[in-house]
Chains A and B, each alone.
Chain A
Amino acid sequence: MTCEEAKRQMMDELGHASSPALAAHVQSCRACAADLADLQSGFAALDRAAIRRAPPLVAEKVRQRIVADLAPRARLIHELPFDGLLSIVFGSASAFASLLLLHSRGLLAGVGPLRLAAGALVWAGVFIFAFWTLLRRRGADPQLGHLVLGALAAAGLFLVGNHLLPLPAVVQWCSTRLGTGLGPLFFAMGTVYAAIPLLLFATSASRRWHVRPRRVLIAGGFFFMLVAPAIFLQCAYFTAGALFAWLLGAVAGSLAASAAGYWLGTRASAQT
């Protein structure tokens, strides 16, 4: 046995009786004998450290908080039958309601039937996928389910914002009042439209569910997928450049709001 092998074995056997091979080496090597004595002495010295237990009140408070958090999830995620069918029903209904909301403001007037059908199908698909992630009974990821629920809420907020202050109206107003070359402005508007609802959602999600930052970004991506059809369907009013700038802004807004919301929520959670 070499000294290097002996050192490795010392670490593996620390706290136990030395194997015959190590004992034999140590007997013939003073340096390794000294090392082993030092290690055993350092290891044994830590017996003197007191055991620290969590204060019962703190431990119970944490336990209750988590148990309370688990209770509603069990009802929401695991007890719904026909999860696939429900996802299709809820997803289709949400897509239909969203289209109706756009139509009620006349925002689909310039959209051809083929584009409308394609947009509706894609939108329904995205909504169904979102609801499936939320409701599926097998292999459900509770935290992702919550994030998707938040992303759905944020998308709903986006649609309400779009209803009150429609994107085409903003584009037309900017184009007539401010002229051409408005790419940066549309980028900024796209950012604001996406960032406000997502910031609200990401902050509350990070505060309530203590999610990892990467997961908030995934939820931001979900949000973007949910609102992108709304932007595309209204693009009859947009030039290609404006649409591109707006979409880019929406992506930037989703990412920035996810990160900022995570930071704000984590900070607020640490203070409470």
Chain B
Amino acid sequence: MTQTKLPGDRDMWIMVLGDMTVFAGYFVVYMLYRSWNHQEFLVAQQHLNITIGVVNTVVLVTSSWLVARSVQATRAGDIEQALALVLSGGVGGVLFMVLKGYEWASKITAGHTNSDMFYSFYYVITGVHLVHVLIGLIVLGVVVRELRNPARRRAQMVEIGATYWHMVDLLWVIIFALFYVMR
């Protein structure tokens, strides 16, 4: 029987699992309102920019991949590589935020605001997600500090940060499916 290992630490998993549960609650409420206003939601949904949605998803998934590779590099002792990967992952996060900001701006100026029920869900849920991305950038910042300090460089700290970052990616993948694509 192979050894199992808990990545990161228990506290971060409490955070991640709890956060996933709260978001699941939001998703279920969204789905309920969607089923009660199906036609209205379909009409509103078609104004979403699918291309930006796909690009943003690829950006975040790639950033997640870079952070995952960074964990592996830390374990292998290649700190320079690990740093480069985490920083690149962080750039992905910033890019995501910029694209999301542009997307919001273009939707709002086109008149799709909170007054439309679909968009009220869209802005709140992607907004909460965006706050998570922002927190994630702070978390990655802490990981960078950890890696830069020769006295630390604990693999577990990098794992903890990575676990949080992957959760941000995971939630977005679901948001993409529920808001941009499904009909």
Bound pair: A and B? no
Chain A residues with CB under 8 Å of chain B are: none
